[in-house]
Amino acid sequence: MITESTRFQTVTTRERVVEYRIPEDEDMTQDGITSQVATSEIPGGPILAEPTADPCVLVIFGITGDLAKRKLIPALYNLMVGGSLPRRFAVMGLGRTEMSTPELRERLREQTGKFSRQPLDSEIWNRFAAHLEYVCGSFDEPATYEELRARLSQVDATVGTAGNRIYYLSTPAATFPVILENLHANDLLPRGHGHQTQPWAQVIIEKPFGRDLDSARELNRMVRRYIAEDQTYRIDHYLGKETVQNILVFRFGNSIFEPFWNRKYIDYVEITAAETIGLQGRGRFYDQTGVIRDVVQNHLLQVLALCAVEPPVSFTANDIRDQKVQVLKSLRPITSMEIADQVVTGQYRGYCDEPGVAKDSRTPTYVAMKVLIDNWRWQGVPFYLRAGKNLGGRCTEVAIHFQPIPLSLFPQGNTCQILERNILTLRIQPEEGISLRFVAKVPGEHLSVGNVSMNMNYSSAFGKPLSEAYERLLLDCMRGDATLFERRDGVEQAWQFVTPILDALEADTKSPVNYYAPGSAGPAEADQLLARDGRHWSPLS
């Protein structure tokens, strides 16, 4: 029996309307207001139908590393569960650890059971593991590549992978030149034009793409010596998230929002990437990197670009990436004289006691900055970016704050109710979804106004689980679709904006460090950054 207090959500499919209770950990209420969402798939074929993945061998350099065990192998296993992997497919792992192929398969089975988003099915795993091979050797030894070439030829003959290759460099960037040079010297990496060349060869490069503008340019020049841009897939897992991809669909698929997506109706935009965790054993790496290189240069600027792009001519890879680059080119540079007014960095207390961190480290674990875009649509609209570790809430989201109403129409004597502005929030993770806040009259004889939050939970609204980002990105690479991968000019443009900020901050060794308590919202100075403009951050959820 459904009572007045029962919480339910309605999902509309083509066949029926389904009402079901929302689990307790998916609370769809806020401030006592129950949300109800109806969804339906639009009849007809998809707007953009993805081609089937080509037969290929995925060669993972560093298969015994953390990324492979936590993300890559679980992603491939889940693709097999969903039936998305091509039938003629194999994984060839390279690593320095002495072990046999059966030993690697058993080790990865245990790790996949721990990190996979779906429970491990023994039958499916055994079918997947049969496609998994291992080559042990050093990345700088010619003998390693001789064995790799022989094993790949054998796989082509037995599996039918047609000579197509994807090389995933899940290794430190310092090893890239050695690996690419040896692949080239052993005729394992022919220069081509993506999937237009048969057989094709592609290289996936894991971030970071350099440490600054000069190193990013040098990395790109080095890669270009061996392969064409069409063969290069620079992976940023944020772009593989369903909710990030949905930004474009939400913007350009809804006529009610696009007319208001400009300086006339939007007051400011917040983009947040907050983590509750600390370094998790990555102290040595993080102390050399910091939050700006680790999160802002890639993740947050990519999300900003998607939120601010002009409509692309089509949804093809280069048309979308062309528009994103235009946004990055339009970012107003922040000079060294403006750093104090537009950038706040912080460090959580206890950071210098972490293993691998220098005792006198000034590396920031938190940053907040005010970014302006000098173009027709966004002139004068600030984008406030913030990212940090060891904070009081975990969320990655975009909050669009619309302009306040110019006049209150609800006076009461000499005072009136203060109406909060409309906010559209795109939640990237966790609790992926979209919410919209507006005001409505509170029932009763008096004219009182209350806030209403309409809340859509992405996975429960459509009744479908969300895939992991690496699942989508690996599959897109097999299809030859580079839409969700970064392009050379986009990487360099992002570094061109960020590098002067890094140089100014690292040159300043006298300013005090802004410390914040673990579990807090960050340093108080970040609040002042917005307060000077008469604004405030949204609470960390």
| Residues that are catalytic | 299
The two tokens of residue 12 are 């509309």
Residues with Cβ within 8 Å of residue 19, at least 6 apart in sequence? 2, 8, 9, 10
Which amino acid, residue 217? R
> Pairing between strand 395-402 and 423-429?
antiparallel
Omega of the bond prior to 406 within 30 degrees of 0, cis?
A: no
Contact assessment for residue 199 and residue 165, using Cβ atoms and an 8 Å cutoff: yes
Angle at 506 between CA 500 and CA 511, to 5 degrees: 115
The answer to whether 387 touches 315, Cβ cutoff 8 Å, is no
Could you identify the residue written with the tokens 């003959």? Answer: 157
Per DSSP, the three-state class of 232 is strand
Beta-bridge partner residues of 348? 516
Tell me, letter by letter, the H, E, C secondary structure of 83-96.
Answer: CCCCCCEEEEEEEC
Beta bridge partners of 234: 205, 486
**Cβ-based neighbours of 382, under 8 Å, separated by 6 or more:** 268, 269, 370, 371, 372, 533
Q: Which of 488, 198, 176, 451 is nearest to 325 (CA)?
A: 488
* 3 state SS for 401-469: EECCCCCCCCEECCEECCCCCCEEEEEEECCCEEEEEEEEECCCCCCCEEEEEEEEEHHHHHCCCCCCH
Say if residue 86 is preceded by a cis peptide, omega within 30 of 0.
no
Q: Which of 71, 91, 65, 68 is nearest to 478 (CA)?
A: 91
Do the strands 165-169 and 201-206 form a parallel or antiparallel pair, or are they unpaired?
Answer: parallel
Distance, in Å, from the CA atom of 278 to the CA atom of 30, rounded to the nearest integer, reads: 29
First to last CA, the chain: 33
The radius of gyration computed from the CA coordinates of the chain, to the nearest angstrom, equals 25
Are 250 and 303 in contact by the 8 Å Cβ rule? The answer is no
8 A C-beta contact, residue 241 and residue 231? no
Report in angstroms the alpha-carbon separations of 196 from 39, 50, 131, 332, 404: 39, 16, 26, 38, 52
d(C-alpha 395, C-alpha 274), whole Å: 5
Nearest Cα neighbor of 264 from 185, 381, 177 is: 381
